[in-house]
Structure 1
């Protein structure tokens, strides 16, 4: 019997409802880790104020903003940008690894101890981080070229971290296999990835335009919400790949 989107959605909803406490704990914990990292490694406040006061919405205004900076400000902006990219990749990797460890632990009917699952999580984080860097770089190139290629690449590469977590393939093989499987099952994987992209966009648009709530509270709610949304996507993709392997 072939897989269907409704079947995967039902399985995802069941898992989410049963593990909602663990998922919320993971999402909130990673959000606070991100906040702590931002507090410990604080970039130049002058650069942050320049970025926040120049709410550029297109490429031309970004170039104009950079051109109006002096050499020291450009250097600080570069350091700040690199820091934010690495911090976001680390947060995504930790969330992804935590969700994969949780699902794997429960899928094995808890035959392996929670200590083993945690140690496996930390052992897999470097590999997941490298793969996330590769996937993010490729998908961002797609978004720079045009929105549609970026969305398509996001769908085609979405399974790569799940495939890598089974420790049977290398980085390149995981990416290649993800593209192959996702292309053949794009009608099943596509809705899950599109749900994640549209959900993140809607949440960001809504919370960014709420001015009567403190900025820090908005940042906290937005990060926790997007982490939960991404967790739902990981559950959906992991369930798909498990059924795919059995078929």
Structure 2
């Protein structure tokens, strides 16, 4: 069976509009939890103000800032960085797991109760978190080397959670298969990844220029929008892999 971008785009839009209420609920719920965590679990206020009020043009400027800090401030900065990384990974993992379970249920015509869906999600999350952690490290190393390797790694590793969700392959095998399949079908997978990245960039720039709204409201809008964009990406990739298995 031939896989085309137009077919995948059509299937993605159809599924999204059919499940739009559920996807919005999941996106808003996860964004709201993030906002609550950010409000009530705050590291050192001084460190946060430095990070939020400084636009680092390059790594040299950031290194200069770190070198000017005392030991206690460096320790607080490290705690803040670890906190944000874990929060981001957990949010991504829960969103990814939720959307995958939603697609699987609808695709298999299963009518799961909320309790059953939650149990399926939580049994799936620990392994998915490890997979996300490994993929994120590999992708970030690529971006540290240069932008193009980072983008290529983002494309080639994008299928790994989808492959893993079918429970036929382990973590490493899912990553290996993702690289192999994504590279073979890079002309089909790369448009959605690049569109997702570009959309995130445009949204971030747009929201950064809005100053009449409360920061917490802006953060909520940003998180919900990012979650919806990521959900659309997962739907596209999941549909691609389903067609790939049938071909």
* Bin of the TM-score, shorter chain as denominator length: over 0.9
1:64 shift after superposition: 1.1
CA deviations on 1:155-190 (whole Å, 9 max, x unpaired) are 000000001111111110000000000000001111
Aligned to 2:12: 12
Number of equivalenced pairs: 247
Residues 78-89 of structure 1 mapped to structure 2, 5 A cutoff:
78-89=78-89
Match of 2:189 in 1: 189
**TM-score, length basis structure 2:** 0.97
Distance in 2 (CA, whole Å) between partners of 1:240 and 1:53 is: 41
Q: Return the alpha-carbon distance in structure 1 between the equivalents of residues 53 and 189 of structure 2.
A: 39
Taking the aligned partners of 1:169 and 1:50, their CA distance within structure 2 comes to 44
Task: Say whether the 8 Å CA contact 2:35–2:216 is kept in structure 1.
Answer: no
Report whether the alignment pairs 1:25 with 2:25: yes
**CA distance in 1 between partners of 2:115 and 2:239 (Å):** 23
Pairing of 1:198-213 with structure 2 (within 5 A): 198-213=198-213
- TM score, norm. by length of structure 1: 0.97
Structure 1: tracts of 5 or more residues without a match: none
Deviations 1:171-229 (A, max 9, x none): 10000000000000001111111111111111011111222222222111111101000
Q: Taking CA–CA contacts closer than 8 Å with sequence separation of 6 or more, which of the two structures ends up with the larger relative contact order? A: 2
Of residues 148-157 and 34-43 in structure 1, the stretch that sits farther from structure 2 once superposed is 34-43
Work out the CA distance in 2 between the residues paired with 1:66 and 1:18. Answer: 49
Higher mean C-alpha displacement, 188-197 vs 86-95:
188-197
Deviation at 1:113, TM superposition (A): 4.5
Cα gap change, 1:215 to 1:111, in 2 (>3 Å): closer
Answer whether contact 1:101 1:118 (CA < 8 A) is retained.
no
- d(CA) in 2 for partners of 1:66 and 1:230? 32
Contiguous gaps of at least 5 residues in structure 2: none
Q: Which moved more, 1:191-200 or 1:151-160?
A: 191-200
Q: 2: distance between equivalents of 1:11 and 1:210?
A: 34
Distance in 1 (CA, whole Å) between partners of 2:3 and 2:133 is 30
Deviates more, 1:104-113 or 1:216-225: 104-113
Match of 1:242 in 2: 242
2:39 equivalent to 1:39: yes
1:40 offset after TM fit, Å? 3.2
SS at match of 1:245: helix
Secondary structure at the counterpart of residue 210 of structure 1: coil
The answer to whether structure 1 residue 60 and structure 2 residue 57 are counterparts is: no
> Hey, what does 1:123 align to over in structure 2?
123
In 1, Cα distance between equivalents of 2:40 and 2:177? 39
Q: Aligned partners of 2:37, 2:132: CA distance in 1, in Å?
A: 19
The separation in 2 between residues aligned to 1:152 and 1:30, in whole angstroms, is 28
Bigger drift between 235-244 and 110-119 goes to: 110-119
Coordinate RMSD, CA, aligned: 1.1
Q: Which moved more, 1:151-160 or 1:38-47?
A: 38-47
